[in-house]
Amino acid sequence: MNPRIGVIALQGGVSEHLQMLLNIGCKTVSVRTPQNLHGIDGLIIPGGESTVLIKLLSRWQLISPIKELAGSGTPIWGTCAGSILLSNEITEKNHKVNQPSLELAAVRAERNSFGRQASSFQEELLIKGLDNPFPGVFIRAPLLYPLSPDAEVLCSVNEGAVFIRCGNIWLSSFHPELTNDARIHRMFIEEAVIGSKPGH
């Protein structure tokens, strides 16, 4: 099976995800309109600027179709800004910020948690389900705080969680699409997309 995976293509690191998906044998769709969501088996919301992405999702009428997609069980993975948009709560410096989100995961995203760009970093990560460390790339990254037992932490750094699975919603505060390592993309496809199909 070659699943069709959509990538929200309004702003941010879109081409990197598309390339990674093509490399592991997926069909890809650049999602700019609600029509682009028809017939996809999974969706990725890329990194970018979360304040911009939420405005554009709203402007181009993508918010309710994405919520319906999530409700029907379609797997959705957000990286960095994408993980912020999927979280139920968004904070910065531990104060709630006035920014709407898709509210699809019982997670609080603490924006710009490590500081400004000079504090962006790379660190090897131990990830549940992967045998060897994964190259983590963190750029003005958020931290993710689980708000319910449904939110399963798959990876943490010293400060807190950076990779959470919440049913069919996956959130990573780092950027696997900026590496040459396709293991997390493959894990998302195999476990969330193919593994969730009836009869599998």
Partner 1 sequence: MSFIRDDGTWKVKTGHAQMLKGGVIMDVINAEQALIAQEAGAVAVMALERVPADIRTQGGVARMSDPDMIKGIQAVVTIPVMAKCRIGHFVEAQVLQALDIDFIDESEVLTPADEANHVDKWNYKVPFVCGATVLAEALRRITEGAAMIRTKGEAGTGNVVEAVRHARSVLGEIRMLQATPFEELMSIAKNMGAPYELVKYVHENGKLPVVNFAAGGIATPSDAALMMQLGLDGVFVGSGIFKSGNPAVRAKAIVEAVSQFNDPAVIAKVSAGLGEAMVGINISTIPENERMADRGW
191 catalytically annotated = no
11 binds partner 1 (CB under 8 A): yes
The footprint of partner 1 on this chain (CB under 8 A) covers a number of residues equal to: 45
177 catalytically annotated = yes
* Cβ–Cβ < 8 Å for 164, 148: no
List the x/- string, 101-140, binding to partner 1 by CB under 8 A.
----------xx--xxxxxxxxxxxx------x---xxxx
Within 38-157, residue ranges assigned H as helices are: 50-59, 63-71, 81-86
* Cβ–Cβ < 8 Å for 117, 140: yes
CB-based burial label for 170 (10 Å; 0-12, 13-18, 19+):
buried
Phi, psi (deg, nearest 5) at residue 19: -65, -45
163 binds partner 1 (CB under 8 A): no
157 binds partner 1 (CB under 8 A): yes
List residues binding partner 1 (CB under 8 A): 9-16, 32, 47-49, 51-52, 55-56, 59-60, 80-81, 92, 97, 111-112, 115-126, 133, 137-140, 157-158, 175, 178
